[in-house]
Amino acid sequence: GLLGASTALGVAARVPSREDLAVRGVGAKVTTPIHVRVVLLGAWGADGPKAAERLAAAANVLAESGMGHLFGLDRPVDGPRTRAEGDALIFEAIFDGTLLAHGMHDAIDAEVRDIMGH
């Protein structure tokens, strides 16, 4: 798979600036946005665009899984976008941090009645 063909993996999560949100047209859609970027480095060469499509498909499978629904990955505020740049495959999306936090709580610490109440 893509991870096996990669030489390095990087993941970053940050709160985007207001300017970044405005450029993306996100505005006030969400109060706690989290910009996530995943980078896979490898010798993609001419296969970069096809590999980026595979990365997008893998991200979609994760988003549509039970875990993806729980953490709000199926409801990005912006994106997701994937692309190939040189030796890098890049995935980017902005997610609702509140949905992510509720999902983490439900997965780790919630009682069944708490989960069913969401």
Is the C-alpha dihedral spanning 62, 17, 98, 109 positive or negative? positive
pLDDT of residue 27: 63
Higher pLDDT, 82 or 115: 82
Per DSSP, the chain holds a count of helices (H) and strands (E) of 6, 4
Tokens 């910009």 belong to residue: 35
* Domains by residue range for the chain, with CATH: 2-117 (3.30.70)
Region 3-19: mean pLDDT is 92
Confidence of residue 13 (pLDDT cuts 50, 70, 90): very high
User: Which residues lie below 8 Å from residue 118, measured CB to CB, with a gap of 6+?
Assistant: 102, 106
pLDDT tens digit sequence for 15-37: 988 777 777 776 666 678 999 99
pLDDT tens digit sequence for 73-114: 999 999 999 999 999 999 999 999 999 988 888 888 867 776
pLDDT at residue 10 is higher than 80 = yes
